[in-house]
Every structure is written in structure tokens, then in C-alpha cells.
């Protein structure tokens, strides 16, 4: 409980710090959101009236304190462009991004774990060399290149899957592959490196000398003890996928958090930008907290160290 309370307080402080920095940076960006909404030919009186309605005529410190109140009550303020609560707008888009992120992480797990484990288990053989080559290629190809390639092959040439847009499972396959392939390449390398490091430790050599079988050593010792860095990458990358799908959402016309953030920046919609940043930060912080909890479950040594802090 002490561990969780400490992590929770750190999370709150981190969230407040991110919000404060982003708030003041955004308000220093050139451009007037009211003029963007009303157009260059708008009357001065109309501009001032809307500025007053939106609270943009108040000192920046007053705007900051008002937004702190909105953050506490959960509305996250009101969007300038849509004239609705920011939290309501985010709720409408989050499900689309969650589906895409889950699809991406599942693809990454399905591809990376068998390849990474097999590559380390048969180190130096053809399987190991092939997996290394595939990982390098996967890391080198960015999403904005891989996405159109998949569309050309599976949608245009083979006519198997939809080109873009949201719908059933068939609409989710190509964007999930686009997101998951890059992560799978990174995850494969980390799995292999972690396993290689673990199997070279002294206690593994001792178990081999005692007479433990290779499969038993791998299943009950190497795989379990090598999971810490893998958990870190999975939890943090899930946060990244959940909030950083801008390119993929744009390529596949997926109406999620990523495209919402891009549009809000173009419109200088300060409350919506700030609300999205808070949401993104919250996802990352929760991902870190989940990783900390999983560490304790997977490795009791961390729990023991925490007891003496």
C-alpha cells in the first residue's frame, strides 16, 4: 500500500507538471483561435464578443486557474471550435483508438514472442540470423511507408481488405498490422537480448551442472526472469500505441485521438489540445504504474527491496 501511494503521488505531480508546461507553451504559439474560427473578415466587435464568451480576454493566470478547476471536476474545459466539453469529445474518439491500439499490441505479441524466443533458443543458427534481419527491416520501415504498401497489396491488388475507414474486423487488420509490425521488430530484439543476457548468468550454469534439462531451465527460470524489460516495453508501448497513432489514423482515415489532436492544433483549440495532452499523459503515467505493479508480481526481489525503503 505504501508503494502504491508513493507511486500515485508521483503520478499526480507528474500530471500537474506536464499540464502546466503544456498550458503556457500552447498559449505562446502564434495565432488567434477566434480569428481562425470567424475568418479574417470578421468584425472587431464579434471577435471581442467571442473572446469574452470563451474567457480568452482574461489574464493567462486566470485562464490557468480556471482550467485547473475544469480538470478537477472532470470536464477539462470547453472546446473552442466545437463548443462542447472536452471530456465528451475525447470519450467519442477514445474507443476507436483503443481498438486500434489493442489490435497493434496483439499483432506485436503474436509476431515477436515466438521469433524472439526461438532466435535466442537457437542462437547462431539460421533462425537467429533470419529473425535479426527481419527485425532490422521492421524497425527501418516507418508507418507512413508501410501503411500505403499494405493498402496497395491487400486492398488494391488482391482486393481482400478495405482501403480505409472504420467498420468490422476487416477494417482493423491493415492499421493493426501497420502499428504492430514496427513494435514487433523492436520487441523481438528486446526479447532476444533479455533472454541472451539471462541465460548467460551463473545460476543458469549451476542448474545445467546439477542436471536440469534445457527445456526446464528455459521454461521455469530464463523466460520468467527475463520478463522485466519485456514488461517495460509492452506497457510503455501500449501507452504509445494508445496515444501516438496519428500517422496510422491519418493513412487509414481512422477517427481516433490522433486525428483529433492534429485538428485541434490546426484550429488553435487550446482547451481541447490541453485536454488531449492531459489524457495522453494520464495514459503514460498509468502504463508506468501498471509496469511497477507487474514488476513486483514477476520478480519478488523488487518487493523485498521495496519493503526496506
Q: pTM of the predicted model, to two decimals?
A: 0.72
22 within some domain: no
Neighbouring C-beta atoms of residue 40, cutoff 10 Å = 6
Q: Is 163 helix (H, G, I), strand (E, B) or coil?
A: coil
Which domain CATH number covers 230? 1.10.3720.10
69 within some domain: no
Contact 108, 237 (CB under 8 A): yes
- The confidence score (pLDDT) of residue 281 equals 80
218 within some domain: yes
Instruction: Dump pLDDT digits (tens) for 133-161.
Output: 777 777 778 777 888 888 898 888 888 88
204 within some domain: yes
Neighbouring C-beta atoms of residue 62, cutoff 10 Å = 11
14 within some domain: no
Length of the chain: 309
Q: What is the mean pLDDT of residues 59-85?
A: 79
> How far is residue 2 from each of residues 5, 117, 294, measured CA to CA in Å?
5, 36, 16
Contact 272, 22 (CB under 8 A): no
- The confidence score (pLDDT) of residue 202 equals 84
- The confidence score (pLDDT) of residue 100 equals 86
Task: Count up the domains in the chain and report the number.
Answer: 1
- Give the HSE-up count for residue 82: Cα atoms under 13 Å, Cβ half-sphere: 17
Instruction: Dump pLDDT digits (tens) for 256-294.
Output: 888 888 888 877 777 788 788 888 888 878 877 777 777
Of 27, 166, 202, 203, the C-alpha closest to 92 is 166
Contact 196, 119 (CB under 8 A): no
Domain residues for the domain of 138 are 87-307
Contacts with 125 (C-beta within 8 Å, 6 or more apart), sequence order: none
28 within some domain: no
Instruction: Dump pLDDT digits (tens) for 209-220.
Output: 888 888 888 877
Q: Distance between CA atoms of 283 and 286, rounded to whole angstroms?
A: 5
Q: Which of residues 308 and 93 earns the better pLDDT score?
A: 93
- Confidence label for 232 from pLDDT (cuts 50, 70 and 90): confident
Q: What is the mean pLDDT of residues 44-57?
A: 73
Contact 191, 116 (CB under 8 A): yes
11 within some domain: no
46 within some domain: no
Cell output for 297: 508480481
- Give the HSE-up count for residue 145: Cα atoms under 13 Å, Cβ half-sphere: 7
- Confidence label for 31 from pLDDT (cuts 50, 70 and 90): low
Contacts with 212 (C-beta within 8 Å, 6 or more apart), sequence order: none
Amino acid at each position: 500500500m505504501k508503494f502504491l501511494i508513493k507511486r500515485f503521488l508521483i503520478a499526480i505531480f507528474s500530471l500537474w507538471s506536464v499540464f502546466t508546461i503544456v498550458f503556457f507553451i500552447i498559449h505562446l504559439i502564434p495565432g488567434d483561435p477566434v480569428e481562425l474560427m470567424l475568418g479574417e473578415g470578421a468584425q472587431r466587435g464579434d471577435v471581442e464578443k467571442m473572446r469574452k464568451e470563451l474567457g480568452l480576454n482574461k489574464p493567462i493566470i486566470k485562464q490557468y486557474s480556471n482550467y485547473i478547476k475544469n480538470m478537477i471536476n472532470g470536464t477539462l474545459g470547453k472546446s473552442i471550435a466545437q463548443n462542447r466539453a472536452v471530456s465528451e469529445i475525447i470519450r467519442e474518439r477514445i474507443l476507436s483508438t483503443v481498438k486500434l491500439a489493442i489490435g497493434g499490441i496483439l499483432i506485436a505479441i503474436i509476431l515477436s514472442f515466438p521469433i524472439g524466443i526461438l532466435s535466442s533458443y537457437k542462437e547462431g543458427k539460421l533462425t537467429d540470423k533470419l529473425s535479426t534481419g527481419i527485425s532490422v527491416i521492421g524497425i527501418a520501415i516507418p508507418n507512413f511507408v508501410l501503411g500505403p504498401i499494405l493498402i496497395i497489396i491487400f486492398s488494391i491488388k488482391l482486393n481482400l481488405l478495405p482501403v480505409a475507414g472504420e467498420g468490422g474486423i476487416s477494417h482493423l487488420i491493415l492499421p493493426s498490422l501497420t502499428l504492430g509490425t514496427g513494435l514487433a521488430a523492436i520487441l523481438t530484439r528486446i526479447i532476444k537480448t533479455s533472454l541472451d543476457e539471462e541465460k548467460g548468468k551463473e545460476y543458469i550454469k549451476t542448474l545445467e551442472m546439477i542436471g536440469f534439462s534445457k527445456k526446464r531451465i528455459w521454461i521455469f527460470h530464463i523466460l520468467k526472469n527475463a520478463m522485466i524489460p519485456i514488461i517495460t516495453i509492452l506497457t510503455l508501448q501500449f501507452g504509445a500505441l494508445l496515444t501516438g497513432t496519428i500517422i496510422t489514423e491519418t493513412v487509414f482515415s481512422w477517427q481516433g485521438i490522433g486525428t483529433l489532436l492534429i485538428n485541434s492544433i490546426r484550429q488553435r483549440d487550446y482547451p481541447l489540445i490541453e485536454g488531449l495532452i492531459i489524457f495522453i499523459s494520464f495514459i503514460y503515467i498509468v502504463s508506468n504504474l501498471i509496469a511497477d505493479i507487474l514488476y513486483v508480481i514477476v520478480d519478488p526481489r523488487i518487493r523485498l527491496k521495496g519493503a526496506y525503503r
